[in-house]
Structure 1
Amino acid sequence: MTASGQPFAASAPHPHNSEQTAQRQPVLFIPHGGGPCFFMDWPGTWDTMAQFLRDLSTRLPRKPDAIVVVSGHWEEAVPTVTASAQPALIYDYYGFPPHTYELKYPAPGAPDVARAIRLLLQENGLPSAQDDTRGLDHGVFIPFMLAFPDADIPVVELSLRTDMDPQAHIAIGRAIAPLRDRNILIVGTGMSYHNLRHFMSGSPTTNQAAQDFDTWLATATCAPAPERDRLLTHWDTAPGARVSHPREEHLLPLMVAAGAAGPDQGQRIYADTVLGKPLSGFQFG
């Protein structure tokens, strides 16, 4: 069932007109911060990002019936969905104050939406799996505690693929794009820059590489769809790419979001400098 109490049909015909297009949910790629950063005494560092997340729901045409989220913190051999009706939380961060391991986000799951995702993937020739016990990792519940604080919208998490193939992740997004027309919000959460070794103490060279990559990423993500997908597929050839992402798991949720965007143009909706590094967030549609 959806949040409105109606059964969810994955492949039901959905006619398109201007009113329905206006009501279609956008696709988002948002930063999720560093561990439980928004719930600690870290003056000034994360304030702009926190406010961006608090304001995020104002960008939506209406309250979603469910949210499908791809986090940089879950990888499986094939795309895998959470199928629990009441997902627990996974406190997958380490060395933080004790109170951050007591944070709560009791959003329900949506097993029917999980089934719909798998059907859409199957219809596009993509294998999938489900996990009936896995909870939501901190790449989901930490930003959602700010963006959707009532925890009353069902959440299904969709994994990355362990092979890190950007083209495959764009294809995953393209397959699940019809969910947008059924009032399902698709969100990728990660970080546009994710090099922990250099995050707080980079040299001028690494700082410039981070800036070069952020500039390239904004241009690529906001390009018309065919060019956008081509550029993102070859993201690792961009200036500063591997300095910004020694491993790309925090960038790949953007690929899923771009695939789900279809022809919708991207726009940068968040830009900030955190711990000396530029960070960006994007919206499609």
Structure 2
Amino acid sequence: MFPSFYISHGSPMLALDAGKAGLAWQALVADLPKPKAILMVSAHWGSLRPAVGAASQPETIHDFGGFPAALFELQYPAPGAPWLAEKVAAVLEAAGLPVAIHPSRGLDHGAWVPLRVMYPDADVPVVQLSIQPRQGPEHHYRLGQALAGLQQEGVMIIGSGSLTHNLYEVMGDITEGDPRVPAYVPAFQAWMNEKLLANDINALLDYRRQAPEASRAHPTDEHLLPIFVVMGVAQGGKVERSHSGITGGVLAMDVYRWQD
């Protein structure tokens, strides 16, 4: 059965030079067989109710601006998996979670930036599942619980966001260990790591009240919501942190792997 992952995908510029984060992404799959398909839950596709992309050949969405032309020229031509889209819709509907099937949805940068490092040949089919920004951690944890059997069918499930995500405070090329990194960033990282390793689901679902400066680490929820989906998928499986860098001074790049 495939492990599940939460990846902090960082700036779209990592598609040109993924650095230490890219090495961590590569290591996640280095010892694994190729999955039958990947189900990607990205922070960059939000909808009122769950939606799943069913395109047979998803386009590469360049959902950003102000970056070099070379970034907009990149393509990630992975095939889609309409069969998986139908399966995801069926299991969520059975769990009382109505789903919309999107026939032409492409892959946003939260999906294709890490995937082009993990699977550079773009030869693994990919399906995206949306998040619901107006709903909180418990809803997304329930989504994950409903999806839990898919790994046994050769499906790899990845949540893609950012462990901290406050774009109002981004400070250029400042990384971990720099004294200019605000104290709340490593404090939030440490709290999340402690609770994840302890499998303290109740505390994690209540992170906005319990985690240090949670509203500063996440002015809005969307970049953390994918981790709750993966937590639901894992259902208490063994978790390890495989990367914990910081970029831009305030964007925690933590990567987690869950394995039964």
Q: Report if TM-score (shorter chain) is over 0.5.
A: yes
| Contact 2:47 2:131 (C-alpha < 8 Å) held by counterparts | yes
1:85 aligns with one of 56, 62, 65: 56
Note the C-alpha offset of 1:196. 1.0
TM superposition score normalised by structure 1: 0.84
> How does 1:30-109 map onto structure 2 within 5 Å?
30-39=7-16, 46-60=18-32, 62-109=33-80
Q: What is the count of residue pairs matched by the alignment?
A: 253
Shift in alpha-carbon separation, 1:275–1:206, aligned structure 2, 3 A: closer
Note the C-alpha offset of 1:69. 0.4
- Cα RMSD for the two superposed structures: 1.8
Note the C-alpha offset of 1:53. 1.7
Moved more, 70-79 or 266-275: 266-275
> What is the SS of the residue equivalent to 2:129?
strand
Runs of 4+ in structure 1 displaced over 4 angstroms?
Answer: 201-206
Cα distance per residue 1:63-89 (max 9 Å; x no partner) = 100000000100111110000101111
Find the counterpart in structure 2 of residue 10 from structure 1.
none
Note the C-alpha offset of 1:204. 7.2
- The 2-side partners of 1:59 and 1:273 are apart by 26
Q: Which amino acid aligns with 1:65?
A: K
Matching of residue 246 in structure 1 with residue 223 in structure 2 = no
Q: Which amino acid aligns with 1:213?
A: F
Cα distance per residue 1:17-59 (max 9 Å; x no partner) = xxxxxxx00110011120233316xxxxx51112112222115
| Contact 2:43 2:225 (C-alpha < 8 Å) held by counterparts | yes
- The 2-side partners of 1:162 and 1:38 are apart by 25
2:206 aligns with one of 234, 237, 248: 234
> How does 1:1-285 map onto structure 2 within 5 Å?
24-39=1-16, 46-60=18-32, 62-200=33-171, 207-224=182-199, 227=200, 229-237=201-209, 238-277=211-250, 278-285=252-259
Larger Rg: 1
| Contact 2:196 2:204 (C-alpha < 8 Å) held by counterparts | yes
| Contact 1:30 1:187 (C-alpha < 8 Å) held by counterparts | yes
> What is the SS of the residue equivalent to 1:85?
coil
Unaligned runs of 5+ in 2: none
> What is the SS of the residue equivalent to 1:250?
coil
Q: Which amino acid aligns with 2:142?
A: A
Note the C-alpha offset of 1:206. 7.2
Shift in alpha-carbon separation, 1:117–1:209, aligned structure 2, 3 A: same
> What is the SS of the residue equivalent to 2:253?
strand
- The 2-side partners of 1:205 and 1:49 are apart by 21
Q: Which amino acid aligns with 1:34?
A: S
| Contact 2:41 2:128 (C-alpha < 8 Å) held by counterparts | yes
- The 2-side partners of 1:151 and 1:204 are apart by 39
* Same amino acid, percent of matched pairs: 35
> What is the SS of the residue equivalent to 1:49?
helix
- The 2-side partners of 1:251 and 1:167 are apart by 12
Cα distance per residue 1:119-170 (max 9 Å; x no partner) = 1101111111110011110101111110111111100000001313110000
Cα distance per residue 1:183-208 (max 9 Å; x no partner) = 10000011101111212179979711
Find the counterpart in structure 2 of residue 7 from structure 1.
none
| Contact 2:10 2:253 (C-alpha < 8 Å) held by counterparts | no
| Contact 1:67 1:186 (C-alpha < 8 Å) held by counterparts | yes
Shift in alpha-carbon separation, 1:125–1:136, aligned structure 2, 3 A: same
- The 2-side partners of 1:103 and 1:215 are apart by 35
- The 1-side partners of 2:76 and 2:180 are apart by 40
- The 2-side partners of 1:114 and 1:169 are apart by 18
